Structure 1
Amino acid sequence: MVFAVLTLVVALGVLLLRDTGSEAASGPRTDDLPAPPTVAATIPVGAQPAEIAFVPGSPNAYVSNTGDHTVSVLDTTTDIVTGTIRVGPEPAALAAHAAAGKLYVANKGDSTVSVVDLASRTVTHSIQVGYQPWDVAVDTATNTAYVTNRLDDTVSVIDTNTDTVKRTVPLSGGDSSVGETAQQVVADPVTHRAFATGVDHTTVTVIEPNTHESKVVPADTSPGGALVDPETHHAYIANYHGQSLTVIDTRTLAVVATVATDIYPDDMVVDSATHTLYLLCREGTLSKIDTTTNTITATLRLPPEQDELAVDPHSDTAYITSEFTDDVTVVDTATLTVIPDEPPKGAKPGAVEVDPATGDAYVLNTAGNSVSVISR
């Protein structure tokens, strides 16, 4: 997410709005566009901020800083840093268990997960997991955390009551000779199953609650991005090299649809209220998918090398970062139109998330050691 200042972008000449439905889309007049967002604050944090997590019911957000082995605590009401927590080396992915008052931080540098007590802001446990933990998901109802371990192609299942590893589950359907495989994991709050992906795979590994036995669901080439919509009871898997989206019924584990996409589908956000999935392809497209029919309804073409996506459904705004161009693109999701503006740039904007309480977007500037707060 971003540094000092940043550009909310895009040259109009490289944009193409393509409607894949039955009617051709026409872009709105310039004077119909909403007012552009503003950079409300730029917050200095630790070195190389990697990921950010918000805690439901709390004004605090937590930023992992890969370069100095810390987590910065942000007060989102004032947008200032109120504390710094020392964790393990190279912290990256993190997830909160709000009911337990804990934060789980994956440390890539020593293959551990730091457990942070949110009240005291201290590390209470250091849990040894697999080689290079990559992603973390928490199921608060079952008091379980899931951690993908990239270099040994496994998922560590952690009991959050005792903060111990209950089981290590190997991903299925991959090439064991290929390193850097396990990718993302998501937990379904309804079935309490976990869905894990690996980039050298053609399947999704599903971990059952209670027994933690695994099942295999077919996907396409290189499943990476994963998301669960509890309203439709569907898991969505972005197949990075398959140029497709696999849709899985989370109750029956049947594949209910395969949606053809543009090149390198990756990041996704779902708006359950409008039955809309937003899919970002790294080669340069943002698509809207109707989750009731699993069809693409419109696509916005962008420059290549797009990285991460966040959406605020209340203001109909999407935020897309690109470390390659040092840009943040802001899109009106109602019209799927880029909101033009030219504020100052940041340095290597990476992760971006929307604060569900305020609707502000928090962009981590990897090279700028800062977080930019964008308001609409």
Structure 2
Amino acid sequence: MSLNCFPSFTCHNVAVYQTLLCRFALALSLAMACSAESLAGNLAYITNQGSNSVSVIDIASKQVTHTIAVGKAPVGVAIASKQQRVYISNANSQTISVINSRSQQTIQEIPVKIQAVGIALSRDEKTLFVADWGGAQVIAVDTAHPQNQKAFKAGKTPSGMLVSADNKKLFIANRDSDDVTVVDTRTLQTIAQIKVGIHPFALTLSPDGKTVFVVNVVSNSLTLLDTESYHTSTIKTGQHPYGVAISPDSRWAYVSNNHAESVSVIDIASGKTVKTIEVGEFPEGIAYDKATQQVIVANWGSDTVSIIDANTNTVTNTIDSPKLCRSFGQFILEAR
């Protein structure tokens, strides 16, 4: 129907109407953009070792939003929220893939010439630490100039790592020397070497920054390591633990038990397991999402991700992910 059917609609009226319509469309577009931004929640980056990819899961909606090609046999994850980057260690291609967390695309491959498994980022995001699974060293990579790399000593088969809350110390779990190396992040010199359980693998820092939780795979235990005094205590876990996540109030430890295909919920104060939750096959990476109060578990054997409601300690969702998902490290990107 043409405008000629409405003789009272002058050219001036049409111009005003079109202007108002354009303004309304622009306002609606902006409102939808703002709404989409406000709905954008935390993201979990799941490394799929068997398919050379990373799955991005929107935790609130419990959906895979992107699948990103990376290097060969991806394992570790380090989140750089200020840089809007996610670093992925690739064991077989001996590289670090760099993902732009806005576009969800791989934008760079950094050669490190070691079997990269465990990775951790300094608090200022200036240095990426990459553990040499095949040796007894760690590589410090300048994130602004990735070709600048420095190697320094660790224990045998370094695996999980984390940087202290004050950015002064790097803690390294050494699987085959059954200890944790503490390194000065400025000088890259060893400060301390602390004996823990048998085959320490993953590390997590308590919310107050005072305790490092060390997963001892063969001892079936957690070592609680004081970040200042280096005093230790031990808590029993399920069979063959691989990862640990701590609740924001520091009350609960969630431990993925690789050989028991479960997650132990442990009361940290008493050291007692209060519940055992069945998940997928061979669970490995685990993290606590503060925004939704959910625990995210990557199941290596069943190619799935289990979502646990931390209020009820029950599995509410199981999400398919490509082959051999691991997510070793801190793999949740918090929305700003």
Taking the aligned partners of 1:83 and 1:328, their CA distance within structure 2 comes to 14
Aligned partner of 1:218 in structure 2 is 195
- The answer to whether the 8 Å contact 2:207/2:249 transfers is no
For the aligned residue pairs, the C-alpha RMSD in angstroms reads: 3.9
TM-score (normalised: structure 1): 0.62
Asked if 1:106 is matched to 2:108, the reply is no
Q: Match of 1:213, as an amino acid?
A: Q
Q: Which has the higher helix share?
A: 2
State percent identity of aligned pairs.
Answer: 21
- Checking the alignment, whether the CA contact within 8 Å between 2:41 and 2:59 is kept in structure 1 is no
Deviation at 1:259, TM superposition (A): 1.5
Q: Deviations over 1:53-90 (max 9, x none)?
A: xxxx99877665656656677888996767956x5444
CA contact (8 A) 1:75 1:82 kept: no
Q: Secondary structure of 1:140's partner?
A: coil
- 1:334 shift after superposition: 3.3
* Residues 324-363 of structure 1 aligned to structure 2 (within 5 Å): 324=301, 330-337=307-314, 350-351=325-326, 356-357=334-335
Residues 100, 304 of structure 1: alpha-carbon distance in 2 compared, 3 angstrom cutoff? closer
- What SS does structure 2 have at the residue aligned with 1:350? coil
Deviation, 1:197, is 1.5
Change (3 A) 1:165 1:228: farther
Give the 3-state SS of the residue equivalent to 1:184 in structure 2: strand
Superposed CA offset, 1:244-270 (max 9, x none)? 211111123232x11223321221111
SS in 1 for 2:325: strand
1:135 to 114, 118, 128: 118
Highest Rg: 1 or 2? Answer: 2
Deviation at 1:298, TM superposition (A): 0.9
Q: Distance in 2 between matches of 1:136 and 1:313?
A: 22
User: Are positions 1:287 and 2:264 aligned together?
Assistant: yes
CA 1:160/1:67 → structure 2, altered by over 3 Å: closer, same or farther? Answer: same
Deviation at 1:350, TM superposition (A): 3.0
Corresponding residue of 1:194: 170
- What TM-score does the superposition give when structure 2 sets the normalisation length? 0.69
Aligned-pair CA distance for 1:203: 0.6
Mapping of residues 265-284 of structure 1, within 5 Å: 265-284=241-260
> 1:242 is matched with which residue: 198, 215, 219?
219
Rounded to whole Å, the distance in 1 between the matches of 2:149 and 2:247 is 33
Unmatched 5+ residue regions in structure 1?
Answer: 1-56, 175-180, 359-376
- Residues of 2 paired with 1:140 and 1:220: CA distance? 27
CA distance in 2: counterparts of 1:103 and 1:344, whole angstroms: 21
Q: 1:153 aligns with which of 114, 122, 136?
A: 136
CA–CA distance in structure 2, aligned partners of residues 109 and 270 of structure 1: 30
Structure of greater relative contact order (alpha carbons < 8 Å, 6+ residues apart): 1
Q: Does 2:302 match 1:318?
A: no
Aligned residues: 289
